[in-house]
Structure 1
Amino acid sequence: MTREEALSILKEYTKSESLLKHAFAVEAAMRAYARKFGEDEELWGVVGLLHDFDYEKFPDEHPMKGNEILKDKGVPEEIRTAILGHASYTGVPRETLMARALFAVDELCGFLVAVTLVRPNKSIGEVKVKSVKKKLKDKSFAAKVNRDEIKQGFEELGVPFEEHVEFTLKALSAIAPELGLNP
């Protein structure tokens, strides 16, 4: 599956600017991790783009409904299984490095964008791991972000927390304007 095909599906089902930006953030982080691990950057990017494509239209059935839609469109099982695994409640195990990476970056990307948006100049390049740690401890900040899943994610991926945050910040910095942020 090409990025263009994935983008077409994403935009067919997702109209919310914030959800589109989230998909682009997760795509950027997935592509960066694919490069780091010597994996297929296009494949990992597609998974990042599509992981929440069904959420806006089918929030109560996400990502199971998305899996059905993607299956009907002939999307490979490898992609669909990774997407199913990013939601712990599906019970689908994250058996591949790609699936573990998706789980590890999904909640973190949302959190890092939130941390950046409260900064005076909205510059993701100025966000430091220390400030991310501090904001994670503040349960009222970005309250919908599942902190346990952020922790579980970097542990499953086998990357230390500080390194994971720094790496993901760098990936998002590369597309900051696309995310509505300053570099």
Structure 2
Amino acid sequence: MIPKRDEALALVHEYTGSPGLRRHMLAVEAAMRAYARKYGEDEERWGIAGLLHDFDYERWPNAAHAADSGHPSNGVAILRDMGVDEDILDTILAHADYTGVEATSLMSKTLRAVDELTGFITACALVRPTRLDGMKTRSVRKKMKDKAFAAALSREEMAENCGELSEDMGEHIAFVIAAMQLAAEDLGLNGPAAR
């Protein structure tokens, strides 16, 4: 079973109060849907996996990186009880290294490749006067070289996950920017920053 988008969004809102984390899940959803179209895969399945991948993070953040409790295991247990398809559950589990579930499917590799990158692109957009509008790959790459900028996001992990997807990093960045630009209004990143 794949939850309908409005059902998945209701779960996100039930378990996540942070607007920033909600927008992150929407950004990942947008990137997953775009890659599903590119690869000829099931856009709804991929989009729902992206939308729900962090829905339990705020409630069970899992700083200890427990393999079988906290995020994402608690969220997957909720989804399993709902009857959500196992490939979606495996994809969500595989996005966290510490669960022991490997990213072997194209969907799970794609989720890993877009997760951190959407966060980094969002950070880049938030310091631009025009947000996502007109953002170019070179400006994201320049920010990646600045180790103090969005320091919590691992450049090495982003590059490694992109490599596992067999995508060129520059093309991958451009593709994810374009996907996020299509969802810019929902992400709060459409147009000039408030003064």
Sort the TM-score into its range (normalised by shorter chain). Answer: over 0.9
Query: Which sits farther off after the overlay, 157-166 or 65-74?
Result: 65-74
Q: Which among 82, 91, 96 is matched to residue 91 of structure 2?
A: 82
**Per the alignment, in what secondary structure is the counterpart of residue 133 of structure 2?**
helix
Match of 2:145 in 1: 137
Match of 1:99 in 2: 108
Structure 1 unaligned blocks of 5 or more: none
Query: Which sits farther off after the overlay, 59-68 or 16-25?
Result: 59-68
RMSD: 1.0
Matched, 1:167 2:164: no
Query: Which sits farther off after the overlay, 124-133 or 155-164?
Result: 124-133
**Per the alignment, in what secondary structure is the counterpart of residue 141 of structure 2?**
helix
Query: What amino acid does structure 2 have at the position aligned with 1:167?
Result: F
CA distance in 2, matches of 1:15, 1:50: 14
The TM-score, its normalising length taken from structure 1, stands at: 0.96
Match of 2:184 in 1: 176
CA distance in 2, matches of 1:146, 1:126: 25
Matched, 1:149 2:157: yes
Structure 1 residue 91, shift from structure 2 partner: 2.1
Structure 1 residue 120, shift from structure 2 partner: 2.0
Whether contact under 8 Å (1:24, 1:179) holds in the other structure is: yes
**Cα deviations by residue, 1:82-139 (Å, 9 ceiling, x for unpaired):** 00001112221111100000000000000001001101232x1322111111111111
Whether contact under 8 Å (1:125, 1:169) holds in the other structure is: no
Structure 1 residue 178, shift from structure 2 partner: 1.0
Query: What amino acid does structure 1 have at the position aligned with 2:86?
Result: E
Query: Which sits farther off after the overlay, 96-105 or 143-152?
Result: 143-152
CA distance in 1, matches of 2:161, 2:133: 23
The TM-score, its normalising length taken from structure 2, stands at: 0.90
Q: Which among 127, 149, 153 is matched to residue 118 of structure 1?
A: 127
Match of 1:57 in 2: 59
Q: Which has the higher helix share?
A: 1
Structure 1 residue 19, shift from structure 2 partner: 0.7
Q: Sequence identity of aligned pairs in percent?
A: 53
Match of 1:17 in 2: 19
Find runs of 4+ consecutive structure 1 residues off by over 4 angstroms: none
Structure 1 residue 36, shift from structure 2 partner: 0.2
Structure 2 unaligned blocks of 5 or more: 63-69
